[in-house]
């Protein structure tokens, strides 16, 4: 039996792709409820614009896969291309120039423009950079589609996994609420909590939580098509198809703090939004929420296994704030790894042993 720990988008995507490969003996253990973690707390944007080439390649394939998967899923996740627009100000930072050179070398079609060319922006903002291969989707329809696909076949169990059991170098099961559940293979997709799950036995993976907030405004006439990132303040936003402006600020709080929001962050967001966008001066915030970015030291995900781990133990976590868009492809790659015992070349740079062998990636593009 295969046990998946955590019923977020990654656990459910892996469960679905295992089923597609004919694997039916699967149990998904969830501590709280389906989609309790970041999979229901994100802002559902996708991009290929990373600044480590391996992440960029992964994201390109992940977006191709997501686009195709969106046509196969039960519910339409409204995968939709909008582009990303960076507001850079009067001087383009050297680090951003290096990223855009990488994107040019990969033919990602981005370009520098005067921000004044975007009619929804106020004038005089200086330089902008527009990257076309990016957009939006609706996260709930992804998570729910995968759940609907597997719920009649796979077993769901409510409970907290506190220990992974192994003997003679092989996985034997887990403790769920103190009761033993046998398993031949275990996949940990517990998002920001993945390090806790793997801490017993002592298999440290450096995934740490950072609480981030997001806000949504009341509806206004559609005018902001791309996701806008204001590099100076870290405020980002875009328009939903319904008409709200959704976004956040890059300020976060480390640790497993409560899921509250801060008035000062919300005001920074609202103030900058009004400074940047024309015609929304009196707009109000309808609601705000928070969730955990699951951060790793190199801001890149961790998928697969370490040869020093008990055989049959896998992880897929640590997406550092960009995991929702990767869930469809990552679930497929994990299903392939578990059933065929092969690490796909796309997944190879992200295996957990890179932390032990100090082969970290060079990613810094966290939004
Ligand atoms: C504000 C915000 C905005 C974001 N915006 C974007 C975006 O625009 N685009 C994007 O791609 N990504 C975005 N993300 C990141 C994205 O949401 C996550 O990377 C992704 O949802 C992670 O999915 P997951 O399935 O790995 O983890 P989660 O969805 O967190 O699921 C983990 C599950 O494991 C369960 N669990 C934990 N511990 C245990 C245990 N011991 N036993 C059993 N179950 C356990 C939890 O209850 C939870 O349901 C954003 C995140 C936040 C917070």
Say if residues 174 and 3 touch (Cβ distance below 8 Å). yes
Residues 188 and 213 in one domain: no
Mutate to test the pocket of ligand 1, among 38, 164, 226 (most ligand atoms within 8 A of CB): 38
Mutate to test the pocket of ligand 1, among 41, 191, 195, 254 (most ligand atoms within 8 A of CB): 191
For ligand 1, atom 35: residue with the closest CA: 6
Answer with the one of 242, 264, 295 that is the final residue of a domain.
295
Residues 217 and 281 in one domain: yes
CA 40–ligand 1 middle distance (angstroms): 7
Residue 361's closest CA among 325, 320, 316, 330? 320
pLDDT of residue 75: 95
37-74 pLDDT per residue, tens: 999 999 999 999 999 999 999 999 999 999 999 999 98
Q: Which residues line ligand 1 (CB under 6 A)?
A: 5-11, 29-32, 36-39, 41-45, 160-161, 189-193, 197, 212, 214, 248, 291-294, 317, 319, 321-325
Q: The CATH number of the domain where 282 resides is what?
A: 3.30.9.10
pLDDT of residue 160: 98
Q: What's this model's pTM, rounded to 2 decimal places?
A: 0.97
CA 105–ligand 1 middle distance (angstroms): 32
229-288 pLDDT per residue, tens: 999 999 999 999 889 999 999 899 999 999 999 999 999 999 999 999 999 989 999 999
For ligand 1, atom 52: residue with the closest CA: 42
CA 97–ligand 1 middle distance (angstroms): 31
Q: Which domain holds residue 181?
A: 2-64+139-205+297-356
Give me the number of domains the chain comprises. Answer: 2
CB atoms closer than 10 angstroms to residue 342 = 11
For ligand 1, atom 13: residue with the closest CA: 322
Instruction: Return d(Cα 354, Cα 298) in angstroms, integer.
Output: 10
For ligand 1, atom 2: residue with the closest CA: 42
CA 192–ligand 1 middle distance (angstroms): 7
Q: Percentage helix, strand, coil, to 5, in the chain? A: 30, 30, 40
Instruction: Return d(Cα 56, Cα 84) in angstroms, integer.
Output: 15
For ligand 1, atom 22: residue with the closest CA: 323
Residues 147 and 32 in one domain: yes
User: Is there a domain that residue 364 lies in?
Assistant: no
CA 273–ligand 1 middle distance (angstroms): 26
Residues 169 and 263 in one domain: no
Residues 153 and 18 in one domain: yes
Residues 249 and 288 in one domain: yes
CA 8–ligand 1 middle distance (angstroms): 6
Residues 315 and 285 in one domain: no
pLDDT of residue 308: 94
User: Is there a domain that residue 28 lies in?
Assistant: yes
What ligand 1 atom has the least distance to the C-alpha of 12? 25
User: Between the CA of residue 263 and those of 201, 221, 239, what are the distances in Å?
Assistant: 40, 26, 22
Q: Which residues of 92-105 are buried (b: 16+ CB within 10 A; e: fewer)?
A: beeebeebbeebee
CA 68–ligand 1 middle distance (angstroms): 22
Q: Mark the ranges of the chain whose per-residue pLDDT is less than 50.
A: none
Tokens of 103: 């994107």
Say if residues 78 and 141 touch (Cβ distance below 8 Å). yes
Mean pLDDT of the chain: 96
CA 71–ligand 1 middle distance (angstroms): 23
Query: How many Cα atoms within 13 Å fall on the side-chain side of residue 272?
Result: 22
What ligand 1 atom has the least distance to the C-alpha of 317? 26
Answer with the one of 242, 268, 295 that is the final residue of a domain.
295
Residues 223 and 289 in one domain: yes
Residues 58 and 156 in one domain: yes
Sheet with 127-131: strands ordered across: 111-114, 127-131, 84-89, 227-230, 235-239, 245-254, 208-217, 285-295
CA 324–ligand 1 middle distance (angstroms): 8
Q: The CATH number of the domain where 7 resides is what?
A: 3.50.50.60
Residues 283 and 144 in one domain: no
């Amino acid at each position: 039996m295969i046990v998946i720990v955590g019923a977020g988008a990654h656990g459910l995507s892996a469960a679905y792709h295992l089923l597609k490969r004919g694997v039916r003996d699967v149990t998904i253990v969830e501590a709280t409820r389906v989609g309790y973690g970041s999979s229901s707390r994100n802002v559902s944007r996708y991009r290929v614009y990373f600044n480590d080439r391996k992440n960029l390649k992964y994201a390109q394939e992940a977006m191709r896969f997501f686009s195709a998967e969106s046509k196969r899923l039960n519910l339409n996740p409204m995968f939709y291309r909008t582009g990303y627009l960076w507001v850079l100000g009067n001087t383009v930072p050297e680090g951003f120039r290096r990223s855009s050179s990488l994107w040019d070398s990969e033919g990602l079609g981005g370009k520098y423009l005067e921000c004044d060319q975007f009619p929804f922006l106020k004038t005089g903002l200086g330089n902008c950079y527009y990257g076309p291969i990016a957009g939006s989707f609706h996260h709930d329809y992804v998570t729910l589609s995968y759940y609907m696909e597997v719920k009649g076949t796979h077993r769901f169990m409510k409970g907290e996994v506190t220990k992974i059991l192994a003997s003679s170098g092989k996985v034997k099961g887990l403790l769920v609420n103190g009761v033993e559940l046998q398993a031949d293979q275990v996949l940990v997709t517990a998002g920001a909590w993945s390090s806790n799950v793997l801490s017993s036995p002592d298999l440290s993976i450096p995934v740490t939580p950072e609480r981030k907030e997001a806000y949504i405004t009341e509806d206004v006439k559609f005018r902001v098509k791309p996701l806008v990132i204001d590099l100076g303040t870290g405020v980002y936003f875009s328009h939903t198809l319904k008409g709200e402006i959704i976004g956040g600020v890059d300020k976060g709080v480390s640790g497993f703090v409560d899921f509250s929001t801060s008035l000062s962050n919300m005001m920074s967001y609202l103030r900058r939004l009004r400074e940047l966008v024309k015609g929304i001066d009196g707009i109000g915030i309808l609601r705000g929420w928070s969730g955990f970015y699951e951060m790793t030291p190199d801001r890149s995900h961790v998928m697969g296994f370490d040869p020093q781990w008990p055989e049959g133990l896998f992880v897929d976590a640590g997406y550092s704030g960009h995991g929702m868009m990767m869930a469809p492809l990552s679930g497929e790659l994990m299903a392939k790894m578990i059933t065929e015992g092969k690490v796909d070349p796309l997944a190879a740079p992200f295996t957990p042993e890179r932390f032990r062998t100090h082969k970290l990636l060079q990613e810094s593009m966290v939004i």
